[in-house]
Amino acid sequence: MACLFLHICLVAFFSFDFSGAASNSGVPGSDTSTPSPEHFYSHPSLFDAYVDLQDNILNRTVVRKKVPAIISNYTTKTYLFFEPYQILSVDDEEQTVSMKTTLDLFWLDQNLMWEPGDYLGLDSLQVASSQVWTPRIGMAEDVENDEFKMPASVLIYSNGEVYVFLPGRVKFLCFLDMEFFPFDEHECKLSFLADSWNLHNYLGDEYDLTKHFAASSEWTLLSFDCIDSENPVASAQIVICSIRMRRRSTFYVINIVVPMLLTSVMTLVVFLLPAESGEKMSFLVSLYVSTSVFLNFMVDFLPRSMDKVSCQNVWGNV
């Protein structure tokens, strides 16, 4: 009888609902900074806590409806960090520049906040970009895309900060002054706009982007800078970036400038030849033929921009 009584007591003890007793005893809920015991029972692992956190965030009405962050908080600002990595190509005929770049976006969305202590200390969450509101960012000078395409996922922090990383290639319009080719320098202006109205530059004055710029065989980056500006048409805040680059002229000096200079000097040599030698005419004909062949070779290297004719074109025709 004693053994049977002990067995019944043990079964009753282990069948008792501790979670219900804890909730009835006034244990704080999930909105407190210190996690209550039931959170540890409901999140036995980080995986379960991560899944529950994702469900909690994505099932909020403002998140499902993709309510813009600026509606919830009119002081919300979208920060942009634009960084060029390498100049891929420059088309003087189309007046375009192709460049490898990265674009970082940050903004604060109060609808995406949570308490890390309620989810085993998780302070970041990665979700699909199609499930939350994201700003539309465009570049006025872009000739290939109307706006930047958001990546497959975005990173959200517990304080509501959202981070997006956009690596890629951009092709934009830039006025190229080829008058002093091959010793030309160009400055390109890029204007970034957003539908969130408050777009700001995240680039600090102390950050030197030239240290991260990849070497190009034809171009070198002289300077890069981004500033906040005002769009007078839409009364919105925009970011304007300025890129200044210079052509590497060594190849053109060796293969174009030096041969043209030597050809010009040889033209003057004909006046030193005595008329009695009878070689003046044959020398001039040979010089003319060699110059014609060289000009046919050189035409593929000269710029085709007709806005301003380069000095090399004028020199070659003369």
pLDDT digits (tens, 9 = 90+) for 224-278: 888 888 876 666 788 999 999 999 988 888 888 888 888 878 878 777 777 777 7
Domains defined along the chain, listed by start? 69-248 (2.70.170.10), 251-317 (no CATH)
In the numeric block, the tokens 């990665």 are attached to 126
Under a CB-based contact definition with an 8 Å cutoff, are residues 212 and 276 in contact? Answer: no
Max Cα separation, the chain?
A: 145
* Helix, strand or coil, per DSSP, at residue 64: helix
pLDDT digits (tens, 9 = 90+) for 192-234: 988 766 788 886 555 566 667 777 888 988 888 888 888 766 6
In the numeric block, the tokens 């065989």 are attached to 217
Residue 97 CA, chain-centre distance (Å), reads: 15
| Residue 310, pLDDT above cutoff 70 | no
Under a CB-based contact definition with an 8 Å cutoff, are residues 88 and 169 in contact? Answer: yes
Give pLDDT, residue 16: 39
Backbone angles phi, psi at 85, to 5 degrees: -110, -35
The verdict on pTM exceeding 0.75 is no
